[in-house]
């Protein structure tokens, strides 16, 4: 964590004002363990205790006092700079960190960048790997937004459904199954490609098949989706994949899709953020752009291929 991590410095500033982890957590709308975790990160970065116990509260070390004298006024200036209108977006120099899986990055990053270049050219968008707990990343102020599945219902976390990730079966156009209706028997007898972050060769599909008394052979796994379409286009593997991830390949004719021969509920994709950023104008503008990307680019693709998905 670098000194210019704005989230960490904001937490540091509030603790310096309150001289209490409990009071700081209330002001920041964070849990006390999350604030304590932030202090641990400060100690690691600055190689200083930063805060020590003082009765029922805490007091800063001389090093912390010296840091605060340097950053306090700039933080005030930054807070004022954040309170901008849309006409001021071109002057905002800021970094927003978004936790996202690679397939969500593939969907959103190019259209978001085009909008940023047009309206907020000084705004930086940094992708943070997302594996398990996006809610914790938000509570710890490690990221400003999460794009993917929303895990929970914490009081301090806001969430908005973006779209339902409908699953389809994909293969190349010359595949032996390409010209026929995909049956459950054919599906189970095929060789499958699975995207697995953990490396485990089982997923939600295998749980559904087991409930139906069936199984499949996962012949190959990958730990990201970037090369899945290329593998499918040049092999007889098939895969079960969210529709938005391969719409370009479908349009180009390198892959075809078929409805699954069993019911697999769609995965809800959400945009989540911490309440501390609810009234942040820049963050609010970016949220609106995410919604525009869904409306203009993702939703039409889902609609155009609706005959291949289970809408229930």
DSSP for 81-126? HHS--GGGGGG--EEEEEEE-HHHHHHHHHHHHHHHHHH-TTEEEE
Neighbours of 90 (CB within 10 A): 13
In contact, 166 and 250? CB cutoff 8 Å = no
Instruction: Write phi, then psi, for 175 (nearest 5 degrees).
Output: -60, 145
In contact, 44 and 1? CB cutoff 8 Å = yes
* DSSP letter string, 224-274: SSTTHHHHHHTSS-EEEEEGGGGHHHHHHTS-EEE--SS--PPEEEEEEEE
Amino acid 152: pLDDT: 62
Q: Is 199 left (phi over 0), alpha (psi -120 to 50) or beta?
A: left
pLDDT exceeds cutoff 60 at 256: yes
pLDDT exceeds cutoff 80 at 160: yes
The long-range contacts involving 201-207, CB below 8 angstroms and separated by at least 24 positions, are 204/264, 205/240, 205/264
Amino acid 221: pLDDT: 94
Tokens standing for residue 133: 């707990």
Please report which confidence band the pLDDT of residue 257 belongs to, taking 50, 70 and 90 as the band edges: very high
In contact, 102 and 226? CB cutoff 8 Å = yes
Amino acid 1: pLDDT: 39
Q: Is the pTM of this model over 0.75?
A: no
Tokens standing for residue 260: 């699954």
* DSSP letter string, 43-65: HHHHTS--EEEETTEEEE-HHHH
pLDDT exceeds cutoff 50 at 309: yes
Taking the C-alpha atoms of residue 171 and residue 238, their distance in angstroms, rounded to an integer, is 5
Please report which confidence band the pLDDT of residue 4 belongs to, taking 50, 70 and 90 as the band edges: very low
Residue ranges and CATH numbers for the domains of the chain are 6-82 (1.10.10.10), 92-164+276-308 (3.40.190.10), 167-265 (3.40.190.10)
pLDDT exceeds cutoff 80 at 51: yes
**Tens digit of pLDDT for each residue in 76-123?**
766 665 555 444 788 888 999 999 988 889 889 999 999 999 999 999
What is residue 301's three-state secondary structure?
Answer: helix
Amino acid 9: pLDDT: 87
Please report which confidence band the pLDDT of residue 34 belongs to, taking 50, 70 and 90 as the band edges: confident
Amino acid 289: pLDDT: 95
Taking the C-alpha atoms of residue 178 and residue 173, their distance in angstroms, rounded to an integer, is 6
Strands 167-171 and 238-242: antiparallel
Amino acid 2: pLDDT: 43
How far out from the chain centre does Cα 61 lie? 36
Amino acid 52: pLDDT: 92
Q: Is 236 left (phi over 0), alpha (psi -120 to 50) or beta?
A: alpha
* Exposed/middle/buried for residue 51 (C-beta within 10 Å: 0-12, 13-18, 19+): buried
**Tens digit of pLDDT for each residue in 187-240?**
999 999 998 877 788 888 999 999 999 999 999 999 888 889 999 999 999 999
Q: What is the dihedral of CA 153, 156, 161, 162, to 10 degrees?
A: -140
Amino acid 305: pLDDT: 73
Amino acid 17: pLDDT: 86
Query: How much is the average pLDDT of 270-281?
Result: 88
* Chain mean pLDDT for the chain: 86
Amino acid 312: pLDDT: 38
In contact, 144 and 283? CB cutoff 8 Å = yes
């Amino acid at each position: 964590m670098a000194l210019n991590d704005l989230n960490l410095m904001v937490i540091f500033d509030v603790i310096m004002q309150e001289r209490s982890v409990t009071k700081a957590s209330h002001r920041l709308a964070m849990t006390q363990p999350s604030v304590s975790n932030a202090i641990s990160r400060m100690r690691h970065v600055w190689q200083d205790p930063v805060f020590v116990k003082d009765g029922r509260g805490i007091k800063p070390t001389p090093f912390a006092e010296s840091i605060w004298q340097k950053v306090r006024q700039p933080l005030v200036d930054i807070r004022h700079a954040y309170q901008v209108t849309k006409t001021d977006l071109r002057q905002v120099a800021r970094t927003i960190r978004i936790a996202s899986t690679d397939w969500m990055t593939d969907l959103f990053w190019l259209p978001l960048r085009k909008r940023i270049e047009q309206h907020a050219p000084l705004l930086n968008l940094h992708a943070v790997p997302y594996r398990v707990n996006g809610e914790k990343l938000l509570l710890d102020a490690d990221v400003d937004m999460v794009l993917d599945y929303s895990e929970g219902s914490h009081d301090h976390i806001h969430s908005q459904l973006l779209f339902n990730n409908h699953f389809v079966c994909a293969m190349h156009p010359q595949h032996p199954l390409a010209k026929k209706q995909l049956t459950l028997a054919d599906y189970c007898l095929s060789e499958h490609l699975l995207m697995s972050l953990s490396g485990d060769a089982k997923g939600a599909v295998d749980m559904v098949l087991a409930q139906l008394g069936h199984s499949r052979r996962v012949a190959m796994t990958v730990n990201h989706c970037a090369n899945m379409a290329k593998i499918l286009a040049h092999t007889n593997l098939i895969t079960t994949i969210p529709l938005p991830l391969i719409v370009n390949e479908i349009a180009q004719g390198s892959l075809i899709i078929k409805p699954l021969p069993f019911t697999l509920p769609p995965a809800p994709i959400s945009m989540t953020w911490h309440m501390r950023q609810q009234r942040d104008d820049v963050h609010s503008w970016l949220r609106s752009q995410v919604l525009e990307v869904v409306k203009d680019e993702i939703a039409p693709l889902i609609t155009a291929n609706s005959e291949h998905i289970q809408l229930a």
